[in-house]
Amino acid sequence: MPEETKPPAPGAAAPAAPDTPDAPPGTHAGHEPADEGIPPPPAGGPLRVLHFLYYVVLYRIETGILIALLALVVLLPLIEIVNRNSGLNLWDGMLATRLSYIFTFYTGLFGGVAATRQVRHISVDLVQPHLPPRVRHKLSGVLYLICVGAAGYLTYTAYRWVFWVITPEDRFFPSVDAWWGRDRAWKVGFIVALGWMTLHFAVAGVRRLLTEPPAGAVAPAAAGAAAAAPRAEGA
């Protein structure tokens, strides 16, 4: 029979949340979080400037782009509905449709950029959860540097596609003659987003190779087994 749990006395501190494998990654004790936060800036010199540009300026630019894209994805269809149903016909409906498509695509693409910065991109890992913290920490750095090569190749491929395959005469909006109606103007974002991902993978890889895992980190598999043992005994 499981023991009865008594409620805490009035004014007493609430007990700590149990370390269960069902808790979100990085929130339970002992596990190495995916995003280790912003490291302290160097004492001075060029490295301090680079730290500020990457962790402050670039982060704010990423956040601003994502907020703008999400706003456009939500507002454009609403504006088009009003434009079409009110009979105003301020612009070609096909233009609004293509804008909605490209902004939705870029929302997902730059969302991937943000996930890469926080090292929360989709990954399948069968080995690292069973490794010691230090080995897992260093191995993840090596894997991120391998991802730099893959993301860098995709960036180069996107560059070739935009500037070698797409011609200056190709139109994204057939009814627009201005520069912003050209296909290249709307596909350059592919190069920017993939290059951004390459940078984030490089920073994450170098950072893990040059640092040690957080204090108290244990292998996730071992922590999950330790958390499951008391529950099995009380069942």
Q: What is the DSSP string of 152-187?
A: HHHHHHHHHIIIIIS-TT-BSSTT--SGGGBHHHHH
- Residue 229 has a pLDDT of 52
- What percent of the chain is modeled with pLDDT above 70? 74
Residues in the chain: 235
DSSP conformation class of 218: -
The amino acid sitting at 222 is A
Model confidence pLDDT, tens digit, residues 190-207: 999 999 999 999 999 999
Q: Where is average pLDDT lowest: 7-11, 115-119, 184-188, 214-218?
A: 7-11
For 58-109, the pLDDT digits (tens) are: 999 999 999 999 999 999 988 888 888 887 777 777 888 899 999 999 999 9
Query: Average pLDDT for residues 22-36, to the nearest whole number?
Result: 43
Cα–Cα distance for residue pair 55/38, rounded to 1 Å: 7
pTM value is 0.73
d(CA 148, CA 137): 17
| Nearest partner of 29 among 14, 19, 21, 15, judged by Cα | 19
CA–CA gap between residue 138 and residue 141 (Å, rounded): 5
Which residues contact residue 73 at a Cβ distance below 8 angstroms, ignoring those fewer than 6 apart? 100, 103, 104, 107
Cβ atoms within 10 A of the Cβ of 163, count?
A: 14
Is the confidence at residue 223, as pLDDT, over 70? no
